[in-house]
């Protein structure tokens, strides 16, 4: 994963105390680290990075109420929430499920972009694009149609791993990603005819009806809590006979939760209902892991619909 986000307080002494606190945190001296962070916050009360790190330390110490307070201060100090404090609050049960802050996703992947492919494939054994490719081939074979698509859109395209898997089967690839850093890496591949820095939903809304015959989202919808608006737009832009294929992280319940990795996990029944509500017909839904985390397979879903 990328390095921890640090946003300067603008106060040199506060920043130095933060750095010393981080060293102590990494060494396991959590009370001393918390004390230094509180000193930094006294010098710079709107120091979002210090508040966020203090929240993590309070959580590590089992001080739930203090952690919640610190995470709220982090978010209040920077309402765009690039640290993802609101996600921590959801995980703690202090706030209900809500959309992921765009600034958090953009910052996370801008930091991640330089080493994304190596980290994802080598460290996390990521197989999302190849899993989707096999699922799409199977869906086309089932209806006796060739697996070739004139126009495809890759939602949350990242560095272009999905486009690489489908390159020979797509004539014209469009990629959308919220992270400029990821789009820069995708552009280097030469696989996309068009690339756009945008939110997935907003990017689709700008497209005409029935303009794609394949919509892909590999490990992208894990950053979307409510799938309904996105699936509705996907249905609008899909041409007759077109396919949408995506991966999700799975939870054992019926709804949506925020997982330990700060990604959303969707229940099978929720996915089925969301597809039906959007007017999409489920072709394939398979429970399959496509990545590991902490040396354990992450429960996943592979979905193909028409």
Terminal Cα distance for the chain, rounded: 34
What's the pLDDT score for residue 125? Answer: 77
pLDDT tens for 202-224 read 999 999 999 999 999 999 999 99
The DSSP output letter for 46 is T
pLDDT tens for 60-90 read 999 999 999 999 999 999 999 999 999 999 9
Q: How confident is the model at residue 256 (pLDDT cuts 50, 70, 90)?
A: very high
Better-predicted residue by pLDDT, 155 or 126: 155
- HSE-CB at 226 with a 13 A cutoff on CA atoms is 10
Give the H/E segment covering residue 301: strand 300-305
**In this structure, what token pair is assigned to residue 59?**
């959580």
Domains by residue range for the chain, with CATH: 12-96 (1.25.40.10), 114-305 (3.40.50.150)
Is residue 1 over pLDDT 60? no
What's the pLDDT score for residue 122? Answer: 66
pLDDT tens for 156-194 read 999 999 999 999 999 999 999 999 999 999 999 999 999
For the ranges 89-93, 138-142, 145-149, 238-242, which has the lowest average pLDDT?
145-149
DSSP bridge pairs for 286: 302
Contact 301, 285 (CB under 8 A): yes
Average pLDDT on 259-266 reads: 93
Q: Measuring CA to CA, which residue among 194, 254, 191, 248 is closest to residue 221?
A: 248
Is residue 4 over pLDDT 90? no
Mean pLDDT of the chain: 94
Better-predicted residue by pLDDT, 128 or 56: 56
Q: How confident is the model at residue 146 (pLDDT cuts 50, 70, 90)?
A: confident
């Amino acid at each position: 994963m990328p390095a921890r986000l640090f946003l300067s307080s603008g106060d040199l002494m506060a920043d130095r105390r933060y750095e010393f606190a981080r060293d102590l945190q990494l060494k396991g001296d959590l009370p001393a680290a918390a004390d230094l962070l509180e000193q930094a916050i006294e010098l710079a009360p709107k120091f979002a990075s210090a508040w966020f790190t203090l929240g993590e330390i309070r959580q590590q110490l089992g001080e739930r109420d203090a952690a919640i307070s610190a995470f709220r201060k982090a978010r209040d100090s920077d309402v765009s929430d690039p640290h993802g404090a609101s996600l921590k609050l959801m995980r703690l049960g202090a706030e209900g499920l809500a959309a992921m802050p765009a600034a958090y996703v953009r910052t996370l992947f801008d930091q991640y972009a330089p080493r994304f492919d190596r980290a994802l494939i080598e460290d996390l054994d990521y197989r999302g694009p190849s899993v989707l490719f096999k699922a799409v081939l199977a869906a086309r074979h089932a209806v006796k149609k060739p697996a070739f698509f004139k126009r495809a859109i890759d939602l949350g395209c990242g560095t272009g791993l999905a486009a690489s898997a489908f390159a020979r089967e797509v004539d014209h690839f469009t990629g959308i990603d919220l992270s400029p850093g990821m789009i820069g890496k995708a552009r280097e591949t030469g696989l996309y005819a068009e690339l756009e820095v945008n939110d997935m939903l907003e990017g689709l809304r700008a497209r005409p009806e029935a303009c794609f015959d394949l919509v892909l989202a590999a490990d992208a919808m894990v950053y979307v809590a409510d799938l309904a608006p996105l699936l509705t737009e996907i249905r609008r832009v899909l041409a007759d006979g077109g396919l949408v294929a995506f991966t999700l992280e799975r939870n054992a319940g019926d709804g949506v939760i925020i997982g330990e990795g700060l990604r959303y996990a969707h229940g099978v029944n929720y996915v089925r209902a969301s597809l039906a509500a959007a007017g999409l017909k489920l072709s394939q839904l398979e429970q399959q892991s496509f990545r590991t985390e902490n040396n354990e397979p992450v429960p996943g879903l592979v979905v193909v619909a028409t």
